[in-house]
Structure 1
Amino acid sequence: MKYLITLLILFSVFANAQDNTVTDLKIQGNKKLKSSFVKKIIQIKSGVKLDSTIIEADIKLLKRLPSIAHAYYQVVLVGEHSYNVFYNIEENFTIIPSANVYTTNDDEFAYRLGLYEFNLFGENITFGGFYQKDIYNSYALKFRAPFLFSRQLGLAVNYQDLTTQEPVFFENNTAEYKYNNESVEVLGLFQLNFTNRFEAGLNYFTEDYEYKFGAKNLNIPQELKVHKLTYKLIYEYNNLNYEYQYVDGFRSILNFQYVTSNNDTLLPDFAIGWNDFQYFKRFGKRGNWASRLRLGIASNDDTPFAPFAVDNNLNLRGVGNTIDRGTGAIVLNTEYRQTLYEKNWFSLQGNAFIDAGSWRNPGGDFSDFGENHNIRIYPGLGLRFIHKKIFNAIFRIDYGIGITDGATQGLVFGIGQYF
């Protein structure tokens, strides 16, 4: 009712908006999040003309922040053509553990445990890291401050030392390698406006392959260490609107990378790009349809180290841990989420999903996308246990069952929605 009254006031006010001004802007409800930070990133300021479209955009922006569970506004008349604006904030708890566990029916088991602070110093800065056990030990650290320098300019710095057992595919055979990727990444972050943002920077990394078992090929070394430099550009269009666990709207994320290598024989320089198209639609009070379409393409080198992986935790729930690779990918994840129970801070959500994808073979052509052995389809069911006042506190369990030739099935556990 308060929100409706506020809207009615605004509509009547803006009929004569030429002289209406904001006398004072007040931030309420925040504890850890600094009011000075909120005022830095929003557009409404004291002394400017009262504008409902700007206020709505500010609220939409605030609800996207990890530190905020919900936000709304009030407008109060304090004098002739003078108004106070109140931004009311419900904060998230932002020191969050993360966990991902995935298995398949051939007894594969891997997990990743992490801890992140999403509101460091009350400035919406993310800092944290993870430990991963996937046969071998791995770890990473992450720093991300999208508003570090201004409401438009920020910085991200990431470090990881990732070691896994990876299959290498060649001539209808498979070899297993111990794979290590140690990298340092620095990105500049630029928010053009409310819906458009860019990231650009460099990633320097070393890839180390060590043969463990499986098929051998004289043309493929059993040990390989390569230094690489990646030039990275990301563009995001984001018009999503959040209401606690519900999402509505469209988002597109384009990721383009050019990778240079000191080994031109097996791992030549290559370009890679992919675009994630995400669409979310509310149905009634408790339903939410979510879809993600990924289109990816890379330089079509005939190499066993192709960049696009078929993986349990990336694209197809239940498929296994890196079971294939390609130089192109088409992946569709679509699911319907239904809230089964909701009270105060807790929500239980069920979902039914279909994950489907196809890959282009290294050195192949676009007809590979239509080949039966490259197409994989995994329907399944899942549950979400959601804490509405802790950022990303969504514990998910999904079980995917493959229905194409040679398919597997398995559980995928994790923190946060799958996409």
Structure 2
Amino acid sequence: MNRIITLLLLSFCCSSFSQNIVADLKIQGNKKLKSSLVKKISNIKSGVALDSSVIEEDIRLLKLLPSVAHAYYQVFPTEVSSKFNVYYNVEENFTIIPSANIYTTNDDEFAYRLGLYEFNLFGQNMIFGGFYQKDIYSSYAVNFRAQNLFSRSLGLAMNYQNLTTREPVFFNRRTADYKYNNESFEVLGLYQINFSNRIEFGVNYFTEDYQYKSGATDPNVPQALVVRKMLYKLIYDYNALNYDYQSVDGFRSLLNFQYVHARDDSQLPGFLIGWNDFLYYKRFGKNGNWANRVRLGLATNNKTPFAPFSVDNNVNLRGVGNTIDRGTAAIVVNSEYRYTLYEKNWFVLQGNAFVDAGTWRNPGGNFSDFSDSKNLRVYPGLGLRFIHKKIYNAIFRIDYGIGVTPNATQGLVFGIGQYF
């Protein structure tokens, strides 16, 4: 009711006067989040014209911050004619958040990733944290991201990762297992074009180390390979999503384009890789939420056992297992219907039914590989979400996927946050 009254008052003021001016922007309800940051990223400032569309855009931006659970505004006249105070009211999230991803398959495979992140470092909307992963071998990473470090529009991200896994390598319909290590350091510039559009650009220095462990061999496939590489990255994000606690509505498109080349005399050719995630969410009534993701990926079609796109439990198909295939192009569709089964104060229990499906182009193959039944995989399943509404990304998910295509697996996938 207060929101409706505020909107009516603001509409009346804007229609009655041609020069309504903001006297001051005041921030209320925030404890850890700095008022100075909210003012820095807001378009409403002292002295600008009072505009309801600009205020609504600021509120949408605040709701996207990890530190903000909910935000709304109020407008009150001052004692000076045609001047108004604007109040942004903020309900904060708890932002020191553990992360966890755990999965199993019917091959008794078990792996996990545990992390801890602060999503509002120093009250400045900075993200800092890291993770430890056990997937046969140990791995770790440290991440820092400051979207508004230099201004409302300009920020910086830095990431260090030392990732070691057992990777299956596929050639001539045979498989070999390699110990794979990727040690990388990445620096990205972050630029917000406007509310819905942002870009990231930067470089990644990394070293890949493949060591043969078991399985098939081939004279043309090295059993040991160490390559130092450089990666140039460009990300373009169009985000028109609207959040209302656990419910999401709207469209988002996320493009990731990379060029990779060797930094030494290994003579390995450089290659291009890019993929675009199209996400669409629609609410149905108070409790229903339909969520969809379509990923289209394409890379230079080198005939190599180390192709960049993988079929993986925690990335694209729930229940499929850990990197069971690779390709140089991919089409993946994830669709699920989420339904709020119970909601009380801060707690939400949500159920979901999903279908994950994907197909790949074989390394050196043709686009006709997409229609090859050997490359097509479909995994329907069911899941539960345990959600804390006042802690950022505090969504504990459990999904069980069952493959319905030939030679399929099935298994549980645990994690923090929605799958997409």
Contact kept, 8 Å, 1:266 with 1:303, in 2: the verdict is no
Structure 2 residue matching 1:202: 3-state secondary structure: strand
Partner of 1:284: 285
Q: How big is the shift at 1:264?
A: 8.1
Q: How big is the shift at 1:16?
A: 2.8
Partner of 1:177: 178
Amino acid at match of 1:28: Q
Q: How big is the shift at 1:268?
A: 2.2
Is 1:218 matched with 2:233? no
Amino acid at match of 1:351: N
User: In 2, Cα distance between the equivalents of 1:250 and 1:216?
Assistant: 46
Summarize the alignment of residues 293-304 of structure 1 with structure 2, pairs less than 5 Å apart: 293-304=294-305
Partner of 2:44: 44
User: In 2, Cα distance between the equivalents of 1:13 and 1:32?
Assistant: 33
Q: How big is the shift at 1:261?
A: 1.5
Summarize the alignment of residues 328-407 of structure 1 with structure 2, pairs less than 5 Å apart: 328-407=329-408
Partner of 2:125: 124
Structure 2 residue matching 1:61: 3-state secondary structure: helix
Q: How big is the shift at 1:94?
A: 0.3
Q: How big is the shift at 1:31?
A: 0.2
Q: How big is the shift at 1:12?
A: 1.1
Contact kept, 8 Å, 1:332 with 1:356, in 2: the verdict is yes
Summarize the alignment of residues 104-183 of structure 1 with structure 2, pairs less than 5 Å apart: 104-183=105-184
Q: How big is the shift at 1:262?
A: 4.7
User: In 1, Cα distance between the equivalents of 2:226 and 2:10?
Assistant: 63
Contact kept, 8 Å, 2:69 with 2:389, in 1: the verdict is yes
Q: Deviations over 1:264-314 (max 9, x none)?
A: 878421000000000111111111111000000000000000000000000
User: In 1, Cα distance between the equivalents of 2:335 and 2:299?
Assistant: 24
User: In 2, Cα distance between the equivalents of 1:192 and 1:13?
Assistant: 30
Q: How big is the shift at 1:78?
A: 2.1
Is 1:241 matched with 2:247? no
Amino acid at match of 2:195: F
Q: Deviations over 1:317-354 (max 9, x none)?
A: 00000000000000000101000000111100000000
Q: How big is the shift at 1:76?
A: 1.1
Contact kept, 8 Å, 1:144 with 1:156, in 2: the verdict is yes
Deviates more, 1:12-21 or 1:102-111: 12-21
Amino acid at match of 1:317: R
Contact kept, 8 Å, 2:40 with 2:151, in 1: the verdict is yes
Amino acid at match of 2:317: L
Q: 1:54/1:105 Cα in 2 relative to 1: closer, same or farther (>3 Å)?
A: same
Partner of 1:62: 62
Q: Deviations over 1:57-96 (max 9, x none)?
A: 0000000000100000011122422211110000000000
Partner of 1:254: 255
Deviates more, 1:103-112 or 1:79-88: 79-88
Q: Which runs of 5+ in 2 are unaligned?
A: none
Deviates more, 1:58-67 or 1:257-266: 257-266
How many residue pairs get matched? 419
Amino acid at match of 1:139: Y
**TM-score between the two structures when normalised by the length of structure 1:** 0.99
Structure 2 residue matching 1:39: 3-state secondary structure: helix
Q: How big is the shift at 1:10?
A: 1.5
User: In 1, Cα distance between the equivalents of 2:269 and 2:165?
Assistant: 22
User: In 2, Cα distance between the equivalents of 1:206 and 1:102?
Assistant: 27
User: In 2, Cα distance between the equivalents of 1:361 and 1:73?
Assistant: 53
Contact kept, 8 Å, 1:267 with 1:303, in 2: the verdict is no
Contact kept, 8 Å, 2:99 with 2:116, in 1: the verdict is yes
Amino acid at match of 1:185: E
Q: Deviations over 1:236-277 (max 9, x none)?
A: 001111111111111001100000025787842100000000
Structure 1 residue matching 2:10: 3-state secondary structure: helix
User: In 1, Cα distance between the equivalents of 2:149 and 2:225?
Assistant: 39
User: In 1, Cα distance between the equivalents of 2:119 and 2:271?
Assistant: 34
Partner of 1:319: 320
**TM-score between the two structures when normalised by the length of structure 2:** 0.98
Contact kept, 8 Å, 2:300 with 2:328, in 1: the verdict is yes
Root-mean-square deviation (CA, aligned residues, Å) is 1.0
Partner of 1:27: 27
Q: Which runs of 5+ in 1 are unaligned?
A: none
Deviates more, 1:256-265 or 1:35-44: 256-265
Q: 1:29/1:35 Cα in 2 relative to 1: closer, same or farther (>3 Å)?
A: same
Partner of 1:2: 2
Contact kept, 8 Å, 2:230 with 2:263, in 1: the verdict is no
Structure 1 residue matching 2:374: 3-state secondary structure: helix
Amino acid at match of 1:302: K
User: In 1, Cα distance between the equivalents of 2:165 and 2:264?
Assistant: 21
Contact kept, 8 Å, 1:189 with 1:197, in 2: the verdict is yes
Amino acid at match of 2:58: D
Summarize the alignment of residues 93-108 of structure 1 with structure 2, pairs less than 5 Å apart: 93-108=94-109
